Amino acid sequence: MTVYLLWHLRPVDGDPDADPEMVHIETEDELCGVFSSRALAERAESQLLGQPGFRDWPDAFVLVGHRVDEVQWTEGFVAA
């Protein structure tokens, strides 16, 4: 089963033109919801677009599908 996480990744510096998917940009991450289908997640994004804050950064939404009961990150990491 796949669930869909809807995130809003607003740049901390307030630059609406900054790309929130760039690793070096610090973001204020908001998990908006976890949905059972992509369609429901997209509907939620549409509803949020008119809300204060979200409407100022309409391109900062990120929708990610994840398989339930599976490890998503199978490798370690190096702390900087």
Per-residue pLDDT at 41 exceeds 80: yes
Longest Cα pair distance anywhere in the chain, in angstroms? 39
Global pTM reads: 0.75
Domain assignments of the chain as residue spans, ordered by start: 2-67
Host H or E run for residue 67: strand 61-67
Measured over the CA atoms of residue 30, residue 38, residue 21 and residue 55, the dihedral's sign is: negative
24 vs 76: CA distance, rounded Å: 20
Q: How confident is the model at residue 14 (pLDDT cuts 50, 70, 90)?
A: low
Q: How many residues does the chain have?
A: 80
pLDDT tens by residue, 51-79: 998 998 899 999 999 999 999 888 988 88
